[in-house]
Chains A and B, each alone.
Chain A
């Protein structure tokens, strides 16, 4: 089911939670609403669900205006951040709940409920837990039961609030992949909220970035990573070196191969992996001192010190594969030439 949001705004007292949000989500997508905490992403999710009312704007589901419709009439499934499983019911009864509360005419009989619940339990690979109570499950298991419960009513949109927020790092990794595969199989339009950019990039096929109630950018993960729309997105997604375009920096940037029109921006953003280094014997404006490096698995992060304003060193980071770094045969204190392969800058705000 496609989702269209028209000019959604929401305030809480003096605080603007959402500022004129326009968003279109085509059917079958897996979308991440990404942003730092307090940016309005959860509020937007709750407005789509009907758990919250927007002050102004429209919510269209499948082309129909559902702005004033109750959560029950929207055909959505909601997975809460802390799962909100019914603690006095078994796993089986939790999943069956949505079926049992249907109006009598639509309610399946006991045998159908049984079949459906077990099918869902198999889908989330937890059939052996059907007799347990929520407090007897691990966090990851609860998460999957919450998902199965939401899917029981066959929602046309699945909304997940920080689905991995409360889990251990290792469980989180597995569940991310699992969610992605589940989405491929079910093909239900799904939206999840996260503050973790890595998670958004890994799981979603579209990412929508929010900050302070504004929609900053939307696109595929690669569009957002390669062409950030503004400073905020560039800083928030992935690592970046932010070099202010003061007088002392223009020279080495030019020497390192970066040509920018002056006055276009206050600063230039260079991703660590877009910065090459070569051993150098000269001492030009475009050289830096190798301070230290850290192993990040397949990659090496290199800490470089550049002479900044009034002689105090400015730290910039480069990143390259392990092998490449070994071939350079560098040691601490060496001088290196910098070469910028790619950079971003934005219109001065």
Chain B
């Protein structure tokens, strides 16, 4: 959509209406978004740079950062592969259960994260369905990294797929058929034709997925057990330190998550802009 500056007279409300609407939006954003954001940094640096640095280099904080990165490192590629596979299947093939698959992909969006976490506890916890079997085989899922990864996967699995399905459906598969007719193998076709066409959408999904994987609290909280230095991710660490009345520690950790959020926002806008450019250049080709 091009943002043409048309002066639509009919839509030109009186000045006071316009200004009060703008004022309401700006005040809301200021009060509920910007102010808390600023507070995070004020609180984090309340006792100076040194204290901030000490809090973040605390072994428990470092462990939380490491675990968060590790979980994201495991989840994002898996979600990406799942997203590509399911988007490919839904956009390219007709099969029984396709509409069920399309609906189920959205399930994690509609289930409360806490419930998602509980599902895993019910399945793999000590009293859960597979609890005994897991104990006999000395496998630990709940209160361990595995459980955190599983819960995060559950929460993040729709992100990439949801981006790609409409994109690939809109593109159709003529270009891929053309590549095959020119002698390219399936792999070559994917790498040289499909992927370049969906790359911005794919990256967009990956960025959102990564943000959620690092920031997820509810589901992870249920399965992690909050063991300091072992099963605390960054969001859990924020809660822990805050409950221990360590405001600087909590806000220092929160500031990291905030930076992640801002970076995500910037990347997201950049990717949206790139996608827009791509689809603008595509539009005139469909005469």
Residue numbers in A under 8 Å from B14 (CB-CB):
none
Grouping DSSP codes into helix (H, G, I), strand (E, B) and loop, the B interface class, with mixed when no group exceeds half, is helix
Question: Which listed residue, B182, B196, B281, B286, touches A101 by the CB 8 Å rule?
Answer: B182
Given contacts A72-B183, A98-B183, A101-B184, contact A86 B178 (CB under 8 A): yes
Q: Are B287 and A87 in contact (CB under 8 A)?
A: no
B27 within 8 A of A: no
Given contacts A82-B286, A84-B175, A135-B282, contact A150 B184 (CB under 8 A): no
Tell me the B263-287 residues at the A interface (CB within 8 Å). Answer: 281-282, 284-287
- Chain A residues touching B, range: 20 to 34
Q: Are A80 and B282 in contact (CB under 8 A)?
A: no
B188 within 8 A of A: yes
Residue numbers in A under 8 Å from B185 (CB-CB):
72, 101
Query: Chain A nearest CB: distance from B271 CB in Å?
Result: 16
Residue numbers in B under 8 Å from A252 (CB-CB):
none
Give the complex CA separation of A98 and B192 in angstroms.
Answer: 12
- Chain B residues touching A, range: 20 to 34
Q: Counting chain B CB atoms within 10 Å of each CB, which of A85, A101, A134 scores highest?
A: A101
Q: Are A87 and B282 in contact (CB under 8 A)?
A: yes
Residue numbers in B under 8 Å from A247 (CB-CB):
none
Q: Are A166 and B287 in contact (CB under 8 A)?
A: yes
Encode A122-148 as 1/0 by CB contact (under 8 A) with B.
000000000001110001001000000
Tell me the B150-188 residues at the A interface (CB within 8 Å). Answer: 174-175, 177-185, 188
Q: Are B181 and A87 in contact (CB under 8 A)?
A: no
The chain B residue sitting closest to A93, CB to CB, is B192
Query: Chain A nearest CB: distance from B142 CB in Å?
Result: 46
Give the complex CA separation of A101 and B182 in angstroms.
Answer: 8
Give the complex CA separation of A76 and B178 in angstroms.
Answer: 11
Q: Are A84 and B282 in contact (CB under 8 A)?
A: no
The chain A residue sitting closest to B182, CB to CB, is A98
Tell me the A63-112 residues at the B interface (CB within 8 Å). Answer: 71-72, 76-78, 80, 82, 84-88, 97-98, 101-102
Give the complex CA separation of A149 and B193 in angstroms.
Answer: 15
Give the complex CA separation of A139 and B284 in angstroms.
Answer: 10
B197 within 8 A of A: yes
Q: Are A84 and B182 in contact (CB under 8 A)?
A: no
Q: Are A153 and B178 in contact (CB under 8 A)?
A: no
Q: Are B178 and A84 in contact (CB under 8 A)?
A: yes
The chain A residue sitting closest to B284, CB to CB, is A135
Give the complex CA separation of A134 and B196 in angstroms.
Answer: 15
A209 within 8 A of B: no
Q: Are B182 and A97 in contact (CB under 8 A)?
A: yes
Residue numbers in B under 8 Å from A153 (CB-CB):
182-183
Q: Are A97 and B179 in contact (CB under 8 A)?
A: yes
Query: Chain A nearest CB: distance from B16 CB in Å?
Result: 46
Tell me the B184-225 residues at the A interface (CB within 8 Å). Answer: 184-185, 188, 192-193, 196-197
Q: Are A87 and B174 in contact (CB under 8 A)?
A: no
Give the complex CA separation of A76 and B181 in angstroms.
Answer: 7
Listed A/B pairs (27) with beta-carbon separation below 8 Å: A71-B180, A72-B180, A72-B181, A72-B185, A78-B177, A78-B178, A78-B181, A80-B178, A82-B286, A84-B174, A84-B177, A85-B178, A86-B179, A87-B175, A87-B282, A87-B285, A88-B197, A98-B182, A101-B182, A101-B192, A133-B281, A135-B282, A135-B284, A139-B287, A149-B182, A152-B182, A166-B287
Given A78-B178, A101-B182, A135-B285, 14 extra CB contacts under 8 A: A49-B181, A72-B185, A78-B181, A80-B177, A82-B286, A84-B174, A86-B179, A86-B196, A98-B184, A101-B185, A101-B188, A149-B182, A152-B182, A153-B182
A residues contacting B by CB (< 8 A) are 49, 51, 71-72, 76-78, 80, 82, 84-88, 97-98, 101-102, 133-135, 139, 142, 149-150, 152-153, 166
